[in-house]
């Protein structure tokens, strides 16, 4: 990474960190949501973008993180930090137990199998009394949006540094090799099963932390909102829009799409969903490798870049 780019990233992080000092309550609340979505997109990037396994089960990790915090704080009267650790522990255990069988599947089969996990978890949690069954749990309120904002920002920085580490470590190269050709990776000495499960667990741990922060901020959760499939779809769209398998793509995607969806839903309420759909379809057709790839290629090929992608789709 060049010094210039590093400087730019630090400035952006500093501006984001200072935002609560001059932003309104609405801006801060929007910021918390956007930052948490960026964390989710970034952690999906680890398993989906770098390892090549399109997980629809990451919302399970989010739910486990939420319930970890809620159960620890409501049922056991433990501090928030302990709840976060409990949530991460649940997510990691889940990743290891279910990752081993599920990560044997590839492509669509893996996607479908993970899609089922969120449904199953929601049904299971609805019957666990310590988790408040299908009524849910109400957490002790903490009216400090600035704190939640800064916590979310720190988590996003940690997630992004983790992904940056992947691009220059042996572990990350193992994951990329698995994505590019799994059998080829195995005969070169990559322990593919272990690496896939570790990537799943790492992705899950970060996702769980985001879920924990969100639960404490919103102060209420029930099985349907905690294990929400549409949240998983959102993180995939954001990561893919920004550029899967890149360090900053998913963050960029999350910020841009959060902003678009926020503006649309306040200006043109009834057709906002439709517009959002159009944005996503246009993005997939015109820039299938995400914004990050446009930034990289635009200087070389200019507007032809979009024309070429259009042609490649045979439209």
Partner 1 sequence: MSAILEVEHVTRRFAGLVAVSDISFKLGQGEILGVIGPNGAGKTTLVSLISGTLRPTAGDIVFEGSRITRLGAYRRARLGIGRTFQIMRPFPGLSVLDNVAVGALFGHTAESDLAKAREKARAQLDFVGLGKFAAQRAEELGGPNRKRLELAKALAMQPKVLLCDEVMAGLNLVEIDEVIEVLRKIRESGISILVIEHVIKAIKQLSDRLLVLHHGDKIADGPPDTVLANSTVIEAYLGRRRP
Binding residues for partner 1, per CB under 8 A? 168-170, 173-174, 176-177, 180-181, 183-192, 245
Q: 287: part of which helix (H) or strand (E)?
A: none
**Alpha-carbon gap, residue 100 to 308, rounded angstroms:** 40
Minimal CA–CA distance to 197: which of 273, 97, 107, 295?
Answer: 97
CB of 202 to partner 1, least distance (A): 18
Element (H, E) at 144: none
Tell me how far, at minimum, the Cβ of 287 lies from partner 1, in Å. Answer: 16
Q: How far apart are CA 43 and CA 209, in angstroms?
A: 11
Q: What share of the chain is helix, strand, coil (3-state, %, to 5)?
A: 80, 0, 20
> Based on CB atoms, which residue is closest to partner 1, 189 or 315?
189
Question: Which CB, 177 or 287, lies closer to partner 1?
Answer: 177
**Residue 186 beta carbon to partner 1: minimum distance, rounded to whole angstroms:** 4
Nearest to partner 1 of 34, 176 (CB atom):
176
Q: Is 131 or 198 the residue whose CB approaches partner 1 more closely?
A: 198
Q: In terms of CB distance, is 127 or 191 closer to partner 1?
A: 191
d(CA 41, CA 239): 5
Smallest separation, CB 283 to partner 1 (Å): 20
313 three-class SS? coil
Widest Cα–Cα separation across the chain:
60
Question: Nearest approach, Cβ of 170 to partner 1 (angstroms)?
Answer: 5
Min separation Cβ 188 and partner 1, Å? 5
Q: Which is nearer to partner 1, 107 or 140 (CB)?
A: 107
C-alpha span between 150 and 155 (Å, rounded): 9
């Amino acid at each position: 990474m060049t010094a210039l780019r590093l400087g730019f990233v630090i400035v952006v992080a500093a501006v984001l960190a200072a935002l609560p000092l001059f932003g309104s309550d609405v801006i801060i609340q929007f910021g918390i949501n956007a930052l948490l979505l960026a964390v989710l997109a970034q952690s999906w990037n680890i398993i989906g973008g770098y390892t090549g396994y399109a997980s629809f089960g990451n919302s399970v990790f989010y739910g486990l993180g939420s319930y970890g915090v809620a159960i620890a704080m409501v049922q056991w009267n433990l501090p928030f930090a302990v709840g976060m650790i409990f949530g991460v522990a649940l997510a990691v255990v889940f990743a290891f137990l279910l990752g081993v069988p599920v990560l044997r599947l590839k492509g669509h089969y893996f996607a479908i199998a993970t899609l089922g996990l969120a449904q199953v978890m929601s049904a299971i949690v609805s019957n666990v009394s310590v988790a408040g069954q299908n009524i849910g749990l109400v957490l002790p309120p903490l009216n400090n949006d600035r704190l939640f904002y800064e916590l979310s920002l720190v988590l996003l920085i940690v997630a992004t540094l983790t992904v940056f580490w992947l691009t220059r470590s042996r572990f990350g190269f193992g994951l990329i090799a698995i994505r590019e050709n799994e059998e080829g990776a195995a005969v070169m000495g990559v322990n593919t099963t272990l690496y896939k499960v570790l990537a799943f667990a790492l992705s899950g741990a970060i996702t769980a932390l985001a879920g924990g922060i969100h639960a404490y901020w919103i102060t209420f959760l029930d099985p349907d909102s905690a294990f929400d499939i549409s949240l998983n779809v959102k993180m995939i769209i954001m990561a893919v829009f920004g550029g899967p398998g890149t360090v900053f793509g998913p963050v960029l995607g999350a910020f841009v799409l959060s902003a678009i969806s926020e503006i649309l839903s306040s200006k043109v309420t009834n057709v906002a969903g439709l517009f959002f759909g159009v944005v996503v379809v246009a993005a997939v057709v015109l820039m299938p490798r995400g914004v990050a790839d446009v930034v990289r290629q635009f200087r070389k090929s200019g507007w032809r870049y979009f024309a070429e992608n259009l042609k490649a789709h045979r439209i």
